[in-house]
């Protein structure tokens, strides 16, 4: 379970912060920190799988700002992600 995350930018809209970047998953998934204290929503859009079979990514958010993703098919994926929530900087 390994997720490598790169934060590429952030912005503030009203009272919420939006953070985005890229991630690479080298196994069945794992957790990564968004840099937020509370995540309202998260989006992950996959770009590539090594075996070409497509992937399914499930996102679960918790109040500590971490996001857990699970890759249910495909050995490897690179994706773009964004999260909106409160806190962090």
Give per-residue burial for 47-86: e unless 16+ CB within 10 Å, then b. Answer: eebeeeeebebeeebeeebebebebeebeebebebbbbbe
Q: So what's the pLDDT on residue 21? A: 93
Within the chain, which residues score under 50 in pLDDT? 51-54
pLDDT on residue 56: 56
Domain ranges for the chain: 3-86
Whether this model's pTM surpasses 0.85? no
pLDDT at 30: 79
pLDDT of residue 31: 81
Matching CATH number, 3-86, of 3.20.20.220, 2.60.40.3940, 2.40.30.10, 2.40.50.100: 2.60.40.3940
Return d(Cα 37, Cα 47) in angstroms, integer: 27
Q: Which two tokens stand for residue 85?
A: 């929530």
């Amino acid at each position: 379970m390994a997720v490598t995350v790169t934060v590429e930018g952030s912005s503030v809209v009203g009272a919420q912060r939006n953070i985005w970047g890229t991630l690479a998953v080298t196994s069945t998934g794992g957790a990564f920190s968004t840099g937020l204290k509370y995540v309202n929503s998260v989006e992950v859009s996959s770009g590539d799988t090594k075996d070409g079979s497509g992937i399914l990514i499930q996102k679960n958010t918790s109040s500590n700002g971490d996001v857990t993703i699970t890759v249910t098919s495909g050995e490897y994926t690179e994706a773009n992600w964004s999260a909106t929530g409160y806190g962090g900087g």
